[in-house]
Structure 1
Amino acid sequence: MTSVLFIPRTDRNTKRALINEIAEAVFGTAEQSAFSEEFVPVGGRVPAPKKENFANFLINVPELLWAVQYNEKTIGFILIFNIPDPSSIGFSINSNFANKGIATDAFTLVRHSTLIKYPIFGSTSTRNTIAQHFMLKQGFVQLPQSFNFCGEESFKYRLDLP
């Protein structure tokens, strides 16, 4: 069963173990790192040591952060932060749980949060057809102009109040 756990900014230092579980899920091995960053432009990738740097990013940067859990195991995250646009969504799950509808279920739980300030935006590489499909499936609308994000041609999406 999919669940999400909101981690308020004020609690992130005390929830370091949970933050580390997220980092382990998406950057715990070279294979997981490659999966998580396959379609991320080189300039937007997490520098080594990936787990530690990503955990620090999660503590300090996102406006909103949710741990994605499946059967009570932390397998990924959904976040809202201000790069490249205000209220931009970011997400990833462990590759062992990909293509099972878990990210869709998690986003369905998150999208109705009263904490989110709509519209929210999503950006993805033009190479990332899986993320493009996910965005459209979730009701995001692709904006007409592509843009350069960290040196790579990308699409931008917008989601208004559900």
Structure 2
Amino acid sequence: MGWFSSIKDKLSSVIVGTAAGEWAVTAMAVMVFADGEVEEAEIEKAKMIAFSSPVIKNSIGAARGEQLFKEAVETIKMEPRSMIQTYLTKLDALARKIGSQEDKNFALAGVIAVAAADGEVERPEYKLLVRFKAILGATLDLPTAK
């Protein structure tokens, strides 16, 4: 068994709570809009995680992940400034429902991957990551901002 197969098998067996899966997918949608530019690399990374990540599949299911992500992106597109604030409020409340440290770290890890998808973390993305880390109580290190 190769290294990649080993990692894939481990991810396939990870199960996180529903709240962590929903939080992660929704936060990834918000992160796509964080720096004011919706970049294709970030959208594609978020879709990949939300639609096909084994951990998302094991927590909320791929169909629910896809539905949540698409709904959030379409809603935020209508009025980014106000809708991002609405989603941040929802994420704050949902974060309080995430129990284990592993779930908190998993939820943040997906969002970090989206923020770094274009090769750099912009200052607004970094500020949002700091906020997300704090509301979750996650212990992951954050990437540095550009």
The answer to whether TM tops 0.5 is: no
Which of the five TM-score ranges fits, normalised by the shorter chain? 0.3 to 0.5
Q: Which has the higher contact order (CA 8 A, sep 6+)?
A: 2
